[in-house]
Amino acid sequence: MIYDNESKFLELISKIPNIAVQGYNKNREVIYWNKASEDMYGFLEQEALGKKLEDLIIPSYMKEDLILFHANWCKKGIPIPSGELLLLKKDGSSIFVYSSHIMLGENSEFPEMFCLDIDISEQKTQELELKSTHQDLEKSLKILDIQKKELEYQMNYDSLTSLPNKVLFLDRLEQAIKFSRRHRNKLAILFIDLDSFKEINDSLGHQVGDEILVQVAQRIKSKIRDSDTLSRLGGDEFTIILNDIQSLDDISSFINNILKLFKEPFLVGDNLLYTTISIGASLYPSDGYDSNTLLRNSSAAMYEAKKDDYSNYCFYDEEMTIKALQRVLLKTALRQALKEDELIVYYQPQIDANDNTLVGMEALVRWNHPTLGLISPDKFIPLAEASGMIIELDRIVMKKALAQLKIWHEQGFKTGKLSLNLAIKQLEKDDLISFIKELLSDEKCDYGCIEFEITESQIMQNPSKAIQLLQDLHNLGISIAIDDFGTGYSSLSYLRKLPINKLKIDKSFVNNLPKDIQDAAISKTIITLCKSLNLEVIAEGIETNEQKEFMLENGCNVIQGYLYSKPLSSEDMTAFLHKKARYLKQA
């Protein structure tokens, strides 16, 4: 807010060629940048305006001092003293200046500070030349000391949030453990992870994601004590050291205060964004005696918190380590299973409940472990997805199921469509279409005989890309079904664009039918939606006659579930087909 007399002041100083003048407001945002500043520091006026001064020419180790001095002047009227400073140019080189400061509108609502800098680099050079070797060395050491401080800062602090990084965090944790051990105190480690942060980065870009991380750091930092440490480990992961903990209630109270911070949205540009966090906590000494163990255990607790639909935080217990070890061992065994051909395919019939005829079957993978026996997919499919093995696993199932389908067709059985689960990772592979074409050609299988099922939530990870790739499959004549419909977060606008043939009502909506009013309403809505969009509909998880009758009464006649058959081995499915064939002949 520059008044007339201030305008004359700025006009005057703008004509002084050798004095760099920068003006900034109470938020330290640049509002004035004269030609001499452009020449001296390398930043053009349009580059500097709106930026914070500490982000332009102030070395990292001086930033906190600058912010403190500015706050003291604005709030307490303590001027910033004049003096020699070593500042930074745009190209990263250093420049010696003599810097003076004045403030306009000091007692107003909008005070403005102006820095007047004179380049004294040449003078400094002459002084160095005139001084003795000892003095020359002293100045050189000063520069080296400044550079050393800058390097130390970069090594120990996160460049985006200015928080301690993992190196400094672990060092402080080691010191905190030694202190707690000596004084027999307790301390807590909190491991914080932003939920669905990847979706923000993917949809709005990394610049928005970075701003979210900065604001997250600022919010959490406002709640911690001076004796505690908040750090950014990397990505969207933060950690906190809470010293001198008296009880679990202290930690729970602190965590709840942190969680409350995320009830308010984050404003980034024109975007009003909400995000939540998951927090895991481990305690010294009960959950570990060293920094690596405490950090690992708090991380394990955080992942447990992510699984809990009712709580955003979790305290570590020893069982988590056992589960984590079991996951590691199971993942290693799964890699071996793929090599040793331990995966087998089961088939669950899909029945038209009007006349009890077979209309199709779903191929379901099982792991025939040499010592543990049959392992259900819910135990190993998440591992396969997380470790990148899901593509190989999916393709093994496709090959085995289509080879068996060929045998049944050669034996004259009418199998209906074979439904195969398709992981979203498959859609990211460039050779998917060619792989399917080659496989169907080898097994002499018609495209119309198979159907791919993909879950609703997987499609919505990248709906635009999914639409194009599913369209390519659809164009071949392959049916597409959305599995677990109603459990994800798709919108009707995307549903209309998807090249799909069928929706599958998820088992979670079927379990309590027909008594549960909400599940009944959801199931009816899905059936009505399918009719409106001219889509087929199938209900899975049908186990009782009451559930079957509910589906028939409301217009869904194709069902899948234990009422008709559990998933069957290829041998048992062959017997089932024989039985159905005899039934049709008798009919």
Q: In sequence order, which residues have a C-beta less than 8 Å from that of residue 228 and are 6 or more positions away? A: 240, 241, 242, 243
* Interval 234-278: pLDDT, tens: 899 999 999 988 877 788 889 889 998 988 888 888 878 888 899
Task: Count CB atoms within 10 A of the CB of residue 158.
Answer: 20
Is the pLDDT assigned to residue 517 strictly greater than 70?
yes
Fold type of domain 341-485+494-506+540-578: TIM Barrel (3.20.20)
Question: Which two three-digit tokens encode residue 567?
Answer: 């998933």
pLDDT digits (tens, 9 = 90+) for 369-421: 888 888 888 888 888 887 788 889 999 999 999 999 999 999 999 999 999 99
Q: Collapse the DSSP code of 382 into the 3-class scheme (helix H, G, I; strand E, B; otherwise coil) and give the result.
A: helix
β-strands 450-455, 479-485: how paired? parallel
Q: Which fold has domain 4-141?
A: Beta-Lactamase (3.30.450)
Structure tokens, 426: 């498959």
**What is the C-alpha to C-alpha distance for residues 393 and 380, in angstroms, rounded to an integer?**
11
The answer to whether 261 and 279 have CB atoms below 8 angstroms apart is no
Least confident window among 31-40, 72-81, 350-359, 570-579 = 72-81
pLDDT at 532 over 50: yes
Q: Where are the domains of the chain?
A: 4-141, 166-316, 341-485+494-506+540-578
Tokens encoding 18: 């050798």
At which residue do the structure tokens 């001064």 appear?
53
pTM of the model: 0.53
**Enclosing H/E stretch for 357:** strand 357-369
Assess whether the region 4-141 and the region 341-485+494-506+540-578 belong to the same CATH fold. no
Q: DSSP labels for 78-146?
A: -PPPPEEEEEE-TTS-EEEEEEEEEEESTTSSS-EEEEEEEE-HHHHHHHHHHS-HHHHHHHHHHHHHH
Q: What is the pLDDT of residue 585?
A: 41
User: Taking all residues of the chain, what is their mean pLDDT, rounded to a whole number?
Assistant: 85
d(CA 188, CA 248): 9
Homologous superfamily assigned to 166-316: Reverse transcriptase/Diguanylate cyclase domain (3.30.70.270)
Please work out, in degrees rounded to the nearest 5, the angle formed at the alpha carbon of residue 214 by the alpha carbons of 213 and 215: 90
How far is Cα 565 from Cα 562, in angstroms, rounded to an integer?
5
